[in-house]
Each structure stands twice: as structure tokens, then as C-alpha cells.
Structure 1
């Protein structure tokens, strides 16, 4: 993994003919939009071959020390999720 100013980039090797959007949504848990992957890999085809190395940019916005956050958790909403169900999964209260 290579760190840059406000983002991280990671390299991964896809399965044969696996589309970029499948890699970004399954292997990397929706941490970026596949269009961003295409943007930083303009010469890489969208259906990948085994052995093709692709850069997946993970843009990060870190909290400032003045935010007083004890922890930052990222979660990708899934079909059927509600704010209440997500709050319950993380054992936090959600105002009704």
C-alpha cells in the first residue's frame, strides 16, 4: 500500500475477466467508485485479466483532533438497512 497526502492506494490482482466494479464493490467493500478506478487506470480495460495490476484509490478524510472522536467507523449501507438497524448492529442509540 502506498500512502499519499489524503488518500491511500492499494494494488490487487483480480480474477480473470472480473469487471472493475465487482472488484471495487466486493474485494474492497465499496471504498471507492469504480469510475475513480477507471480514472486512475486509463489504459486498463474494465474487464480484467489475471495478472493485471490495477490501482484502487481509497480517498480518506481524516478527522481533526478538535472533532473529539473516539473512533471513526465506515460502513457501506446494504439493501434493507435502516439507520435504526445499523445503530443496533454497532450498539449505539439512534434518536427516534
Structure 2
């Protein structure tokens, strides 16, 4: 196992580990509950970490995580309901319509 990244909180660490695992890179969250010892040790050493199970997949997992963290920002108008959609979304939150290609 090899540490891939330190996350700002447990929710983000879990999300990143799940996305990596779903992408074919088995990952785990370590130090999930270490925040309770902050103050006794430096706070930056109590943050949760995402670890890749197979070290040979480390570089590919890092590349995938960077792509996932930098999702393209889009601004479009739904052709079905004319709702303005802003962010990395490809589906209208209002009616479920697909982003025009």
C-alpha cells in the first residue's frame, strides 16, 4: 500500500477512495478517526489519508484522482425546460434532461 493523498476531511477522503476503487484502483481510507487526537499531535497529521492498495497502480491512480478533482466547469441551458445549469453536471437537475452536445 502507498499513500496517495491527504484529504481535508473524512467525507472527501471516503468519496475519493470510492471513486478510485470504482475506477479500478482499490483504495482505502487511513486515519479516518485520528482527528480526535488533534492538539496532542499537529492537526495536519490527524487528517484522513487515501491509500492505494496496489503500489504498481500508484501513478495511474494519481492521474485519475487529478482528473476527478478537476472536473470541467460547464454553463449550459437545458433544451427541455430552459433551466440554467452551472458546474460539472451533464444532466439538468430540474427535469433530468441531458446536456446538449
Same fold (TM over 0.5): no
Q: TM-score, normalised by structure 1?
A: 0.28
Q: TM-score, normalised by structure 2?
A: 0.27
| Greater relative contact order, per chain length (Cα 8 Å cut-off, separation 6+) | 1
Which is higher, the Rg of structure 1 or of structure 2? Answer: 2
Q: Greater share of helix residues, 1 or 2?
A: 2
